[in-house]
Amino acid sequence: MLKDSFFYTYFRSLRVVDKQVSLVDNDLLKFVKLEELVLSANQIKEIDTTNLPPTLKVLELYGNKMTSMECLCTCPPPRLQHLGLGHNKLLGPLESLYVTSDYWPNLISLDLSFNDLTDLQGMVSGLRTLRRLRLLVLQGNPLALVPCYRGFIIDGLSGLCVLDDITVAPSEKHLFRGLSHSGDLLAHEARLVVTVGHVRGVLDSSVLDPEPGPQGPFITYRYYVTYEFVEDEEGEGDEYGRVLAEIVKPPPSTEQLGEVIPKEPIKEAEDSVGPGLASQSQSGELEESGASAPLPRPTDSAEELAKLRPRLDPRLWPSPGTVLFSTVRKPWSDVIPCNYEMQHVLKDLVRLKAFLLSGTTVTIVEEKILSWPAVPPSPNSPSAAKKGKGEKDKKGKEKDKEEKDKKGKDGKDKAGKGEKEPAKEQKGSKKKKELRKDLRQDPPVLRVLGSGPVDLEPLLSGEPFMSTVCNFGVVRTLETDRLTLYRDSKKNKSEKAKNAALEARKSKTKLPAASVYESDYRPDPLTVEIQIQLIQGHSTEEALRRLVP
């Protein structure tokens, strides 16, 4: 039978992981030869170091609830070589006072990753006293988001061999030489650049709309991408407010627009797609009216804006603590180039870290605007009277023409009379177009085509750049793509496209490309390209160059 004395003197390593431990008592001192103690993923808030064996060389407290290192400095193990405090809640500038050689004279490795440490200069000043320190992990802290982070530490800790699991190269020591002496001049703020690339696979909703009549409505579609980003309370709140207002503020109810010419009818294409198109159009309208609503009018206070929030699609409203940014509205095309780039400068690094952990949301939005004639023509208006008089004169001339035909006038006179009629018709159509010069717009109707989260945690884990393609699935259909193909073929000026469209109209059959669509139809999914870069300094010269306005 084993005795207790043998049991306590035998073990050199003790691991108690994820066991809801919250207290370390003096029974731990019975392990007289204990060198490694792992108490990760527990509920520990403080540790009485007088209860730790003095023989400890490794102490790991990852994933607990510690808010300060002060409790560890009461009577720290003198032989400790590795201290792991990652994924805790260490916060405040005073933490740099507890990482000095006064408490950890033999420390070789220190892991303080994924806490809320913000004082880079103070931390380097304390760590500089640890002469034996060779491995350091600080990634995941707000202080690691500033551009000069890596260079400042490498130059300040000359004996460091590995920083954030990346070996310190001799070239880095050369490039960042002297940077630690300019700490007071460096800006302690993070810079991130968001780029929105191409949008693909968007459904062309305009092919499902009926042709507008003389009195409208004339429908236009625009597409844009929105994303959430953290609001910096210390920095540019006013500028962000203007961006938000741009999204939730509707355009004026009346706006002067240029001349609008209705699209040509696509009757032949409708015949080729069959009855399935009508149900598709109806379902699209229902989806639009159910998923979105007209935007509210501009408000003078945040409280009034908050009251209107239920009227908006939740996906069109930013999460608490974030601001909604959007690209420029673009018309439909098979590939919509957003060409959007925005640099975000943030001083509140703790809020930025929390935002990167939670991620952002990217949304593709369709904006539909109905335009109407500003002043509908009245039957008693002068233009209408002139029109009636013109029709009366036209009928009189036609009657005279018939009488002249009966009297046996020659064909030349008939031809001369016939050439003037189309000119008058063109003149009349021109007058109709002039009536549509001034249009009023309804508030835009927004419809979310696709929305989804984007993981930003790699930027906290040391990755300076992340790129992804958000895939929201297929929203296009065979019928709508064939209508779009037919419309584009009519706009194409090449003789080949004209002949193909002419043959399709004569035969009243499906388009030549329809067989290709049906046999091998693979529409592109709705996607958008997103890139986010965390700006990092690559040399002392580059870091100091940013100081010059």
What does residue 398 show for φ and ψ, rounded to 5 degrees? -65, -35
Q: How many CB atoms lie within 10 A of CB 263?
A: 15
In the prediction, which pLDDT does 524 show? 86
User: How far from chain centre, in Å, is Cα 167?
Assistant: 34
Give pLDDT, residue 398.
54
Residue 535: both structure tokens together: 């700006």
pLDDT tens string, the chain, 549 residues long: the values are 667 777 788 889 999 999 999 999 999 999 999 999 999 999 999 999 999 999 999 999 999 999 999 999 999 999 999 999 999 999 988 999 999 999 999 999 999 999 999 999 999 999 999 999 999 999 999 999 999 999 999 999 999 999 999 999 999 999 999 988 887 777 789 999 999 999 999 988 888 888 887 777 889 999 999 999 998 655 444 444 334 333 333 333 333 333 333 333 333 333 333 333 333 333 333 333 333 333 334 444 445 544 444 456 777 788 888 899 999 999 999 999 999 999 999 999 999 999 999 999 999 999 999 888 876 555 555 544 444 444 555 455 555 555 545 545 444 444 344 444 444 444 444 443 443 557 788 889 999 999 999 999 999 998 999 999 999 999 888 877 777 777 766 666 555 555 555 555 555 444 444 444 456 778 889 999 999 999 988 888 887 776 654
User: Is residue 67 a contact partner of residue 45, using CB atoms and an 8 Å limit?
Assistant: yes
309 to 73, 324, 361, 418, 452: CA distances (angstroms): 50, 14, 18, 63, 20
How much is the pLDDT for 438? Answer: 76
Question: Which helix or strand (DSSP H or E) is residue 372 part of?
Answer: strand 360-373
Residue given tokens 């007289």 in the structure block: 32
Residue with tokens 């009018």: 297
Question: What's the pLDDT at 402?
Answer: 53
Measured CA to CA, the distance from residue 207 to residue 189 in angstroms comes to 48
Extract the tokens encoding 33.
């030869």
Domain ranges of the chain: 4-185, 191-374+441-545
Asked whether the beta carbons of 383 and 431 are under 8 A apart, the reply is yes
pLDDT of 118 reads 93
CATH number for the segment(s) 4-185: 3.80.10.10
Per-residue confidence (pLDDT) for residue 547, from 0 to 100: 61
Cα four-point dihedral sign 196, 202, 207, 211: negative
